[in-house]
Amino acid sequence: MSFNTFGKLFRFTTWGESHGPAIGCIVDGCPPGIYLSEKEIQVDLDRRKPGKSKFTSQRKEADKVEILSGVFHGKTTGTPISMIIYNKDAKSRDYETIKNKFRPGHADYTYFLKYGIRDYRGGGRQSARETASRVAAGAIAKTVLKKLIGKKFKVIGGVIQLGLLGCNKNNWNDKEIQKNPFFCPDKKAIKLWEKYLLAVRKAGSSCGAVIELRASGIPAGLGSPIYSKLDSDLAGALMSINAVKGVNIGAGMNAAFLGGEENSDEIRNVKGKTKFKSNNAGGILGGISSGQQIVASFAVKPTSSILNMRETINKKGKNTKISVRGRHDPCVGIRAVPIGEAMMSCVLLDHYLLNRGQCG
């Protein structure tokens, strides 16, 4: 059973609402004896946090994480790691005027039907603020994988499509991703993207994005057929991120357009090592990692909180209109990059541990 818990052997459970006193995360199943401090976790939280550029929400949250358990003398103990992040800049007042209306594209309506409750304060539990907890868990997963696999291990994500604008994936540069406010891997795309996104925001609108994730150094053999396939678990994990509507592994939806010869990746022995001539499979065959780079991508829908007036109903079922003011990302897809990396890292570590357990 999952609900607010993710994972099988490496599991995390998140809690907290957008405007509650705090949010947090328990990581369970972390191997013992691994050096861990708030510092490594903070690096990824800082990448996700709002207010860093004019292209993200202006809510000011330091997102400072505190570890409350599971670490002794600087090392993990194998017991649950509890982390807490206090909410500092919640402005529930901003939401007072729309507290009885359902924002289109948000989960206000469905939460109200399911639970009979409308926690209007920044969306309550449905808020993407919950993803800070995921990033914290993912940072631990990365730390563990680095220890278990070594230096060759790396998970990195980049925005490859910003609304209507793509970029040239041939220019993919890991370092570039850390330099621009879009997590875009193609330096040449930045200028145009800046102008475009400012225009979108100025128009009171928003846009979507596509993020690509790449994991290197992943050993072959991870993934458990038939219903815990690596790609199946990745798809579920990425689709669980707020606003995600589509997930691809390798060639993804485009695989439908390929012929059998183009699609299946030929295999070669090159100087004693197995090499594939292409990677349409995204590094996964039959749900099991092949030793190639793991490649997945996902689409994030445009931010639903926009200034432009929209039609909706209120809690009493009456027709009304809504314009959502406050502090919102014009493209929530951007900050989805570290979240995607976190989810992929957690899935990979989970399957690493599973594989070690069963077929070591």
Angle at CA 43, nearest 5°, toward 191 and 300?
50
Q: State which residue, 150 or 317, has the beta carbon closest to its own copies.
A: 317
Select from 157, 245, 244, 161 the least CA-distant residue to 196: 161
Q: State which residue, 175 or 289, has the beta carbon closest to its own copies.
A: 289
Distance of closest approach, residue 97 Cβ to its own copies, in angstroms: 18
Residue type, 111: Y
Q: State which residue, 164 or 170, has the beta carbon closest to its own copies.
A: 164
Residue 323 binding its own copies, by CB under 8 A: no
Contacts of 349 (CB under 8 A, 6+ apart): 10, 141, 144, 145, 148
Cβ count within 10 A of residue 307 = 16
Residue 265 binding its own copies, by CB under 8 A: yes
Q: State which residue, 175 or 288, has the beta carbon closest to its own copies.
A: 288
Token pair for 215: 């994991």
* 36, 90, 238, 349: which one binds its own copies (CB under 8 A): 238
Contact at 8 Å (CB) between 156 and 177? Answer: yes
Distance of closest approach, residue 273 Cβ to its own copies, in angstroms: 9
Stretch that binds its own copies, among 51-59, 167-175, 185-193, 208-216 (CB under 8 A): 208-216
* 246, 279, 326, 327: which one binds its own copies (CB under 8 A): 246
Q: Which of residues 139-198 bind its own copies (CB under 8 A)?
A: 161, 163-164
The string of DSSP codes covering 19-87 is: TSSEEEEEEESPPSS-B--HHHHHHHHHHH-SSSSTTS--------EEE-SSEETTEE-SS-EEEEEE-
Stretch that binds its own copies, among 45-53, 90-98, 168-176, 317-325 (CB under 8 A): 317-325
* 14, 57, 143, 345: which one binds its own copies (CB under 8 A): 14
Q: State which residue, 80 or 175, has the beta carbon closest to its own copies.
A: 80
Residue 4 binding its own copies, by CB under 8 A: yes
Q: How far apart are CA 63 and CA 87, in angstroms?
A: 8
- Over its C-alpha atoms, the chain yields an Rg (Å, rounded) of 21
Q: State which residue, 175 or 226, has the beta carbon closest to its own copies.
A: 226
Contact at 8 Å (CB) between 316 and 229? Answer: no
Q: State which residue, 9 or 62, has the beta carbon closest to its own copies.
A: 9
Q: Which of residues 326-355 bind its own copies (CB under 8 A)?
A: 333, 353-355
Site string for its own copies, 271-310 (x = CB under 8 A): -x-x--x--xxx-xxxxxxxx-------xxxxxxxx-x-x
Q: Which of residues 35-74 bind its own copies (CB under 8 A)?
A: 68-70, 72
Select from 116, 121, 135 the least CA-distant residue to 87: 121
